[in-house]
Amino acid sequence: MQRAIIITPKAFLYETITTENSCTYGSKITDELLSGWIVSVQEQQGNYLKVVTHYGYGGWLRQSDTREISPGECQLWQQIFQNSVPSFQEEFCLKPPASDNLPTAVIRRGMIDILEKPKVQSDILSTLFLGSPVLLCGYSTNGWQKVQTAEGSQGYVPSCALLYPEEREYTQAGVRFCAINYAKSYLGASYRWGGKTQMGIDCSGLTFMSYYMCGILIYRDAAIVEDYPVHEIPISQIKPADLLYFPGHIALYLGDGKYIHSTGNPNSFGCVINSLNPQDCDYRSDLAENIIAVGSVFL
């Protein structure tokens, strides 16, 4: 099956496409893909590709947001998606590094500029978002790392803006802490249906990205789905970083009755923290009184 890689900083995935006057358009945004993510191409209609993402989500993507890659290059980029951490659900976790010199890393800052030279005054080649993999070009020098983007350009980022494979957490406590910290990094971001970046993110985009950065691929939507790692648990067993499910909505539990979520409610419209405790000023009865499930990736 043909593989392609996202070459733009971000690309929308559409549920359907329509054709009018020989032009094809995407209709109903369902997801947002990031530079360096791999998709499997199933068919093409006009300037759109029907694809399946590496986490099993399907839809239509503009062909101009991608380029076809060979099996060898696909294997190189997919190192960041390799699986097997037996502590959780094996097939949905990234693999601990076999060495300290794997050629891929992931952007760990909300947004970071790729600079032409290793200095802050340099020209900006592109801007990538948290969760975008890059290829490493040599070793970090004086706090700067040369990288190559999926589009093919080479430039520099501060080394601290990258998550290197050896830095990932592989303990349950570490992953819980990691997921919460990444979720909090989106605080203040506006709500965007289908979004996954600091420019706008939705509820399941927030929970997906929080776990993705910890190496765990959960289902993209606000549902517990068979064959994905989240399983239902009693609410009495809920711990920080577990997931709260409401009708059509999902949140990440922080502990002490607090949860973080990205909400389209016009009173907040974005990533915020709310409470399950009626005595708290940030209590939302419409959510607290309508919890339909609690999920966890931890056994």
Structure tokens belonging to residue 89: 């659900």
Amino acid at 142: N
Structure tokens at 180: 């919460």
How many Å apart are CA 115 and CA 56, to the nearest integer? 33
Distance CA 161, CA 114 (A): 11
* Whole-angstrom distance, CA of residue 266 vs CA of residue 52: 32
In the set 93, 214, 249, 271, the catalytic residue is: 249
* Residue 203 designated active-site: yes
**Candidates 93, 214, 261, 271; catalytic one:** 261
From 93, 203, 214, 271, active-site residue: 203
State how far the Cα of 56 lies from the Cα of 116, in Å rounded to an integer: 35
Q: Is 54 designated active site?
A: no
Place of tokens 């070009």: 137
The values of phi and psi at residue 56, to 5°, are: 85, 15
**C-alpha span between 60 and 49 (Å, rounded):** 5
Residue 17, both tokens? 């496409």
Of the CA atoms within 13 Å of residue 273, those in its CB half-sphere come to 16
Name the DSSP class of 298.
-
Residues involved in catalysis: 203, 249, 261
